[in-house]
Amino acid sequence: MKKTKIFMIAITVIIVIIASFKAFGDMKNTTPDGKIKIRMPTATSSGTLYATGAAITHMWNEKIPTIKASVQSSAGGVENLNMVNDGEAQVSIAISSNCYQSFHGTDIFKGHANPHLRVIAGLYLNPNQVIATDKSEINKIEDIKGKHFAIASAGSSVYNEVKTHLETANIKVPDDIQAEYIGFGEAAAMLQNKTIDGAWIMAGVPSSSVMQTLSSNSHLVNLSDEFIKQMQKKYPWYVAYTIPKGTYPTQKTDIQTTAVKMVMFCNEDLPDEVVYELTKAFWENVEELSKTQKSLKNLTPQEAVKNIADLPIHNGAMKYYKEINAI
């Protein structure tokens, strides 16, 4: 009898502890007036992605009375994915390649997989742009071997893009190049001073940074059809992308490259009704958002479910897409 009583007390204590943790979690993710917190890390506060996130969260706060959304600065896509995986954020944006790697626990996400990642919307294509000085003799990706090249900060989304592309071209990173682990801002200055041979950037076109760099005896590097097909065969998220001639003042020919789609994502445990409202509000207001956020121009729900690296769509978002016959 005594043992039974002790056992019952122990069970009661465990239940109370579990309930306390749940209450703490609920308090952490809701405001005092009961609104659901939506934290959205993006990129550095000076970047365009931060401004886009700020516009989206502001719109959500205006259109959805049950949530309190806030934009946050971050180191970019890789950190965004880890924050959502760890429960430090609820919604974010990253390139589809990083989302795929996070979902499957590969490459830089090895040992830190997030099989609970779910897509809210595929957004715009983010093209890779490879820039080289005219004197570098870099005219195709294979020419980067042995050159002094800026490959972004180690562990960043852009670094991962550089590594993926160069290794497909049989160039080991960093063994086969003289690597500079710097962001494009610093790399652009070095290109203009001719202290490096080339650099890599992921940015919408036209990019003011690229435009400024190309004005100083530099050029965009074209990726061949064969190389792009190799990339697409190995990695399901790549899309062939053409930068039309004349996009930049000194660009006299079309430039072929690869692009990956930016993806808005969350975890599957974000309630269906919340994700439904987020998705619905986004698409019903995207045209207005695009007046100040040029990257959101010409987006459609029909395209939002394509080229997302075969990642699963959140049930709440899926409900909206089915309602409007986008799927």
Taking the model in full, what pTM does it have? 0.81
- 8-123+264-324 — its CATH code? 3.40.190.10
- Give the N- to C-terminal CA distance of the chain in Å, as an integer: 61
- Where does the pLDDT of residue 78 fall: very low under 50, low under 70, confident under 90, or very high at 90 and above? very high
- Segment 95-127, tens digit of pLDDT: 999 999 999 999 889 999 999 999 999 999 999
Do 8-123+264-324 and 126-261 come out as alike in CATH topology? yes
- Segment 255-287, tens digit of pLDDT: 999 999 999 999 999 999 999 999 999 999 999
Helices (H) and strands (E) in the chain, counts: 11, 10
- Segment 223-249, tens digit of pLDDT: 999 999 999 999 989 999 999 999 999
- Where does the pLDDT of residue 24 fall: very low under 50, low under 70, confident under 90, or very high at 90 and above? very low
What is the Cα–Cα distance from 172 to 93, expressed in whole angstroms? 29
- Segment 171-228, tens digit of pLDDT: 999 999 999 999 888 999 999 999 999 999 998 888 888 998 999 899 999 999 999 9
CA 174 centroid distance within chain: 24
The domain segmentation of the chain, as residue ranges, is 8-123+264-324, 126-261
Specify the CATH number for 126-261; select among 3.40.190.10, 1.10.357.10, 3.90.1570.10, 3.30.70.270. Answer: 3.40.190.10
Reading the block at residue 105, the tokens are 């626990």
